[in-house]
Amino acid sequence: MMFFSTRAIIALGAASIAFLGCAQITGAKFEPVRTVSVGGDNPFGGAPAVEIPADARAMSAFLKAEVAMNEGDREEALKDYAEAVRYDPTNAALKVRLATLYVRDGRLKEALDQVNQALAINPDSADARLLGAGISSALGDDATAEKDYREVLRLNSKNQEAYLYLGALYAKRGDYGEAEKTFEQLITLDPSSFLGYYYAGKVMVASKNYPAAEKYYQKALDLNPQSELVLLDFALLRERQERPQDALVYYNKITQVNPNNELVRKRKAEILVGQKKYDQALEELKRAEQVETNPADTRTKIGLLYVEQGNFDDAATEFNLVLGSEPDNYRVHYYLGTVYTELSESDKAIREFNKIPADNEHYVESRLQLAYLYDKQNKYDDAMGALKDALARKPHDPEITGFMVGVYQEKKDYQAAIDLARKMVAADPKNDKLHFTLGAALDENKQRAEAMAEMKKAIELNPSNAQALNYLGYSYAEQGANLVEAEKLIKRALDIEPEDGFYVDSLGWVYYQKGDYKRAAEELERAVNLTGNDPTITEHLGDAYRKLGKVKEAGNEYSDALKKAQETDQVARLKDKIQVLQNAASAGH
């Protein structure tokens, strides 16, 4: 079945994210700045330690909040922290924690109220001032934000986050000298500060001090030679310097790192086309290009760094702070929606994606995200509506129509899925992926012979189509036929994608059908480790254990699979297998 995981859909917007340069920053010697985070280590000063409240009711609420956070239930945690604050109103650090959750939920005014209460209790709380400065800046009060960032540095001269945002505030108001000085202080404090060098470079570009900008950018590149963030700015700098050929060098480096960066490819095309009309092209580019050095831009990039690290809670906090000052920043609404999706907060994600207008660059991706979320909630008509909206913007797009096939399959409208897939194949008969999509739809409708014929056609068109190779091999294994050929096909798929747990499962199942239960169990154990929660793979491992006489282990795997199984047939089959094991155990006693 052709269907998109959350990661797969997010990847459709990767070119836009990569244009901001965050896809390759993970190699830099940089620990991203953090706002105050509940229960996390903060290399920039640390999350505030909260003593367990003495009041029994406050203690109970606080402990419930901690458990809820550990379990990922942030709504329950917010409610419990609020209750703890109500019973222990003089605990400043507890108020900061509550404020942090309010920020993450986009409730900035309530967050600021908690911060101000915390500061009334403890004026020397650097954590409260740091969070308050970020909120003030997001709400447009840059004067208060600057004052608080300065106060943070008075209280803790090593707080890197305060330097970074204070420098961005100076740059925003055009005080480039102070901005550079502030970033230099950050660099002195941490000579491996990637963002210190990067933002110092941006400030120097804004002030038209291009030699200084080059120096800073080069330092940032020394820390991470493949950073799209810096390579892109270097290329733009070369264009400003009227050195288009040198700009092309940097654009080429970006496309080597990320071939899907469509925006960079357009930049390259503009230069190449404009070689004959250079002055006109350059003037157009100068009018379009803007240097952003404001705190919202800084927070956006840091939020994307958190996304790269899988730190979605802090990413949500950063993006909500950006939207506090720029509510019409639809790019950030899109990013926040993807973060909420990763956090399994579907309603919030849907809310963010629905804010993106039809003329926005992220509109199509947002519709795909909505379709995924609606499909997950079994709202198939809503999912199809979102996909039709996307298709209206990108007619005949095979990824969108393929997604539609997947929704029909989820809806169990297999004939509609097959009909649409046939239309896709008819429109592009040489496309191996479309033959795979049709084959998967036919398979769902139990038209196995036709499905296998489509898979063979996909392999004929593209011998490296790992999905089709695996499908055909697994189909043979399921039938207990052509097992030598099945093993060859699946091993070819694994040569292409060696860490795909489903392909590893297929190989294990071939060994099972051959009667080599020891090798089957070895491969199936690896498959379970790679996929984690697929009930069919877990059931396969239970079958292998049972053949090896490992009755207890088999029972454990069957029970685990039963907890995850959703298909009626599989649920009944697993219950029967568990009952057989239990009957055998009773007979043995």
Hey, is 311 helix, strand or coil? coil
Q: Give the residue from 545, 574, 534 showing the smallest Cα distance to 558.
A: 574
Q: Count other C-beta atoms under 10 Å from residue 28's C-beta.
A: 25
Residue 198: partners with Cβ closer than 8 Å, 6 or more residues away = 216, 217, 220, 229, 230, 233
169 in Cβ contact with 176 (< 8 Å): no
Q: Give the residue from 548, 482, 535 showing the smallest Cα distance to 505.
A: 535
In whole angstroms, what separates CA 515 from the centre of its chain?
A: 41
Run of H or E including 283 = helix 278-288
Question: Looking at this protein, which amino acid is placed at residue 51?
Answer: E
| Domain 480-589, CATH | 1.25.40.10
- Start-to-end CA distance of the chain, whole Å, equals 45
The pTM assigned to this predicted structure is 0.67
pLDDT per residue, tens digit, the chain (589 aa), is 233 333 232 222 322 222 222 322 222 222 233 333 333 334 334 445 666 676 788 889 989 988 988 888 888 999 999 999 999 999 999 999 999 999 998 999 999 999 999 999 999 999 999 999 999 999 999 999 999 999 999 999 999 989 999 999 999 888 999 999 999 999 999 999 998 999 999 999 989 999 999 999 999 999 989 888 889 889 889 888 888 888 888 888 888 877 766 667 667 667 765 555 444 444 433 433 444 556 787 888 788 878 877 889 989 999 999 999 999 999 999 999 999 999 999 999 999 999 999 998 899 999 999 999 999 899 999 999 999 999 999 887 888 888 899 899 888 899 999 999 999 999 899 999 999 999 999 998 999 999 999 999 999 999 999 999 999 999 999 999 999 999 999 999 999 999 999 999 999 999 999 999 999 999 999 999 998 779 999 999 999 999 999 999 999 999 999 999 988 999 999 999 999 999 888 876 5
Nearest-angstrom CA–CA distance, 346 and 468: 32
Nearest-angstrom CA–CA distance, 494 and 189: 48
366 in Cβ contact with 356 (< 8 Å): yes
Q: Give the residue from 317, 344, 349, 312 showing the smallest Cα distance to 334.
A: 349
Structure tokens at 515: 């009667």
Nearest-angstrom CA–CA distance, 224 and 342: 27
Question: Looking at this protein, which amino acid is placed at residue 282?
Answer: L
Q: Give the residue from 104, 39, 12 showing the smallest Cα distance to 364.
A: 12
Nearest-angstrom CA–CA distance, 399 and 404: 9
The Cα-based distances of 349 to 274, 341, 554 in angstroms read 41, 6, 39
Instruction: Transcribe 335-359 into DSSP letters.
Output: HHHHHHHHTT-HHHHHHHHHTS-TT
545 in Cβ contact with 561 (< 8 Å): no
The Cα-based distances of 337 to 10, 69, 452 in angstroms read 10, 20, 38
Instruction: Transcribe 539-572 into DSSP letters.
Output: HHHHHHHHHTT-HHHHHHHHHHHHHH--SHHHHH
> Which DSSP letter does residue 47 get?
P
Number of residues that make up the chain: 589
Instruction: Transcribe 417-452 into DSSP letters.
Output: HHHHHHHHHHH-TT-HHHHHHHHHHHHHTT-HHHHH
Q: Count other C-beta atoms under 10 Å from residue 260's C-beta.
A: 13
